[in-house]
């Protein structure tokens, strides 16, 4: 894959040029399992939905505790279910909610020294954080684009990343 720099100096990959699509389908995931395990996986998902969409972890606990009398599925069946079908959408709805962000106090105004204002009137700096596989990156765009991994989003780490850019 070739990533090209766009007019705003960001790098991107045009998926329309090569028309490559990588998708793992449910049918493809089923190929590695036996007919019996696939039937058990479907049964496990139906039972999970029938008892009110508990999370996978909670459903496995229900199975292991024996809360469902003569339950025809076990933990292994549920693991196959997750592998084939992924997490149950009904189990996720209403349970994955946006967490409240902490209150940000007004920062005291910071006055730039006059020599900086006079010398750098035409510079604009844009910065934002992005997440890739749960890793935080600080992205900046001015004359040059930068990207730096952050250990955390603390003021100290962000300040150091900005000084490095």
- Percentage of the residues of the chain whose pLDDT score is greater than 70: 84
Give the number of domains in the chain.
Answer: 2
Same domain, 31 and 80: yes
Q: Which residue has the higher pLDDT, 98 or 59?
A: 59
In a domain, 119, yes or no: no
141: β partners: 126, 145
The mean predicted confidence, pLDDT, of the chain is 82
What would the 3-class secondary structure string for 1-53 be? Answer: CCCEECCCCCEECCHHHHCCCCCCCHHHHHCCCCHHHHHHHHHHHHHHHHCCC
Q: How far apart are CA 52 and CA 54, in angstroms?
A: 6
**Helix/strand/coil for 58:** helix
Q: Provide the CB-side half-sphere exposure for 70 (13 A, CA).
A: 0
Q: How far apart are CA 88 and CA 56, in angstroms?
A: 8
* Per-residue pLDDT reduced to its tens digit, 22-33: 677 888 888 889
Q: How far apart are CA 40 and CA 80, in angstroms?
A: 9
Residues 6+ apart with CB under 8 A from 113: none
Same domain, 79 and 30: yes
In a domain, 42, yes or no: yes
In a domain, 40, yes or no: yes
Residue 140's φ and ψ, nearest 5 degrees, are -130, 145
* Per-residue pLDDT reduced to its tens digit, 99-154: 777 766 666 666 777 887 777 777 777 888 888 887 888 888 877 777 888 888 88
* Domain of residue 130, residue span: 125-164
Last residue of a domain, one of 41, 73, 92: 92
pLDDT given at position 149: 86
Same domain, 140 and 85: no
């Amino acid at each position: 894959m070739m990533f090209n720099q766009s007019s705003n100096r960001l790098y991107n990959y045009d998926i329309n040029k090569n028309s490559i699509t990588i998708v793992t389908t449910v049918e493809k995931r089923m190929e590695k399992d036996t007919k019996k395990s696939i039937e058990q996986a479907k049964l496990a998902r139906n039972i999970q939905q029938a008892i009110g969409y508990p999370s996978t972890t909670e459903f496995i606990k229900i199975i292991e505790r024996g809360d469902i009398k003569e339950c025809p599925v076990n933990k292994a069946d549920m693991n196959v279910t997750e592998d084939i079908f992924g997490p149950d959408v009904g189990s996720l709805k209403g349970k994955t909610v946006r967490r409240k962000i902490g209150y940000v106090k007004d920062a005291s105004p910071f006055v730039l020294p006059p020599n900086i204002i006079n010398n750098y009137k035409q510079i604009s700096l844009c910065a934002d954080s992005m997440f890739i596989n749960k890793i935080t990156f600080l992205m900046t765009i001015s004359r040059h684009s930068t990207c730096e991994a952050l250990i955390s989003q603390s003021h100290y780490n962000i300040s150091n990343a900005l000084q490095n850019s």
